[in-house]
Structure 1
Amino acid sequence: MKPLLALAPLLLFAAEGLMAEDSASTFGPEGLTITPILEATETITGQPIHFPQGNNQLVAVLAEIEPGGQVGRHLHPVPLFVYMLEGQLSIEIEGHGIKTFDAGQGFAEVINTWHNGRNPGDVPARLLIVFSGQQGTPNLIRP
């Protein structure tokens, strides 16, 4: 009986391995491609990214700016990520000039800095914006 008890952990380990292999073939990734977009510790102007503490929340929005349109002067008191889905966006950043982004690019937006985004192109600019903020704190402040 003792030799069988000694083998029990090995048998369990082997059975779990077989189950994991079966699960991987059924539920594992198939046809999956992962393309890195951004890994950043700083915003586009070199500000370190610090996340708020407390009742944190993520807010994701899709924004569309018509050709020749603009967002209007504003600032963000929280960190945010922007991914350009279509078109082009030029951001005039107080004290930092203009930075331009095209479809397929992602960036960490400036924090607590006045700026305005414009669409200089001839097609709509579509952006996915993900704010990392706190409940009760606005994601965008206008003058």
Structure 2
Amino acid sequence: MLGNLRIRAVATAAALCGLLLTWADVPGARESPQPVTPLISSGKTIVGETLVYPTSAPAKVTAVVVPLAPGQETGWHTHGVPVFGYVLEGELEVDYGDKGIHVYRAGDALLEAIAAPHNGRNIGTGPVRILAVFMGAEGLKTTEPVSR
């Protein structure tokens, strides 16, 4: 029985080596990868808040796609945690109150305001879709509505 296990182990290793050698001979397999496109690198939000990650509980990252129809608004809100945003589609205007108004278009990346209340509105003729990645912790709210 031990001999059969050794034979199987050697046969499996040989098969894997063969696959790896075959893959290595595939045209382009050894070429360098495509260049990376940087999206954003900052320690501050769009309104200048310093990013601080929660440490009160185990880390929890939540990613969602936020859809907005033409003319639709997010409603005034804040975030309890840092948020990376990436506009997948459309044109979005975000009002940050006394911190100004910013317009984001497909392909734009941002570190969203955390404590500064803000409201997003689809100002285009088509849908808006935003990838929002919340870098939070267990038990913390990602978004909190505020009255304006």
Alignment of 1:30-41 (within 5 A): 32-41=34-43
Q: Deviation per CA, 1:42-101: give whole Å up to 9, x if none.
A: 100111111111311100001110111111111101100000111111111132121111
Instruction: Give the Cα separation in 1 of the matches to 2:30 and 2:86.
Output: 27
The match for 1:93 is: 96
User: Of the candidates 137, 140, 147, which is equivalent to residue 137 of structure 1?
Assistant: 140
Structure 1 runs of 4+ aligned residues shifted over 4 Å read: 24-31
Structure 2 gap segments, 5+ residues each:
1-20
Q: Report the equivalent of 1:78.
A: 81
Residue aligned with 1:95, SS: helix
Aligned residues: 121
TM-score normalised by the chain length of structure 1 = 0.77
Give yes or no for the alignment of 1:65 onto 2:68: yes
The equivalent of 1:125 in structure 2 is: 128
Give me the whole-angstrom Cα distance separating, in 2, the residues matched to 1:77 and 1:25.
48
State the distance in 1 between where 2:85 and 2:136 align: 14
**Structure 1, unaligned stretches of length 5 or more?**
1-21
Query: Sequence identity of aligned pairs in percent?
Result: 33
- The alpha-carbon deviation at position 32 of structure 1 amounts to 3.6
Question: Normalising by structure 2, what TM-score?
Answer: 0.75
Cα distance in structure 1, aligned partners of 2:142 and 2:31: 35
> Cα gap change, 1:87/1:41 in structure 2, threshold over 3 Å: closer, same or farther?
same
Which runs of structure 2 are paired with 1:16-27 in the superposition (5 Å)?
A: 25=24
CA RMSD in angstroms comes to 2.1
